[in-house]
Amino acid sequence: MGFIQHLIDIKTEREFLKEIENIKQLKRWIKESIEAIKKEYDNRRKILFEELSKMDDVIVREPEGAFYVLAKLPVKNAEDFAIWLLKDFNIDGETVMFAPGEGFYATDGLGVDEVRICYSLDAKDLKKAMNILKEGLIKYRKEVEK
């Protein structure tokens, strides 16, 4: 009985060591995946900040943490602008959507001309969205707010 138990113990030990190696590989994969995700979102953050910074009269501070940007737009009311974009503006059938900034402040009147934009889109779509926003701002200021 001792010899058979010895063989079972060896097999169990080998399986245990294999499982430990599998766990190590899984931990490496998780770490690499998290780093890749962080790098991708950092790239998106930079794209959004850079594109907004290029727009006339848009004020934006580079975000340091979350996956959204708060930007001050050259409009009287960001919510009115958002509604106009959704109802009356598109480029090749596409428009953009964002959250008006006023709802993120406890003090009445703050954020009326601000928007909160999430950078969950991939880099290509984010660049396209920023172009739509830029063109929308130009048209809105020219034709709606005059």
Q: How confident is the model at residue 4 (pLDDT cuts 50, 70, 90)?
A: low
Integer Cα distance of 44 and 124 in angstroms: 9
3-state class (DSSP) for residue 17:
helix
Residue-wise pLDDT for 75-131, tens only, equals 999 999 999 999 999 999 999 999 999 999 999 999 999 999 998 889 999 999 999
3-state class (DSSP) for residue 34:
helix
Dihedral sign computed on CA atoms, order 88, 90, 92, 97: negative
Q: How confident is the model at residue 9 (pLDDT cuts 50, 70, 90)?
A: low
Average pLDDT over residues 46-55: 95
pTM of the model: 0.81
Helices (H), the chain: 2-54, 78-88, 123-139
Average pLDDT over residues 50-70: 91
Q: How confident is the model at residue 5 (pLDDT cuts 50, 70, 90)?
A: low
